[in-house]
Amino acid sequence: SQKIEQNSEALNIQEGKTATLTCNYTNYSPAYLQWYRQDPGRGPVFLLLIRENEKEKRKERLKVTFDTTLKQSLFHITASQPADSATYLCALGYSTLTFGKGTMLLVSP
């Protein structure tokens, strides 16, 4: 069956460092992959989309990579800030989106 794995443990980093979140998947061939941010008590908010034929996408301090051979996406936040603290969800898409459970990021001052 399809499986999406994101680190279940929270990622704790210091302000100014680069945060790297991992999304691994099995038994799936997504056409694209999206990353969302979710704050407590709120709905997810879209951050980035990357298609299967793209290796890397950037948006301001955000960078996402997509390796269809390794079946892995990495999501980077450079120069992290306490305001970046949230849960980050990866979602694999073909006709509909399948979401991972998310990884909580905590950025301390």
**Interface residues toward another protein, by CB under 8 A:** 4, 31-32, 34, 41-46, 49, 51, 89, 91, 93, 95-102
Nearer to another protein, 3 or 17 (CB): 3
Nearer to another protein, 64 or 89 (CB): 89
Smallest separation (angstroms) from another protein to the CB of 32: 5
Smallest separation (angstroms) from another protein to the CB of 33: 10
Nearer to another protein, 21 or 80 (CB): 21
Would you list the DSSP string of the chain? --EEEE--SPEEEETTSPEEEEEEEES---SEEEEEEE-TTS--EEEEEEETT-SEEEETTEEEEEETTTTEEEEEESS--GGG-EEEEEEEESSSEEE---EEEEEE-
Nearer to another protein, 40 or 109 (CB): 40
Smallest separation (angstroms) from another protein to the CB of 83: 20
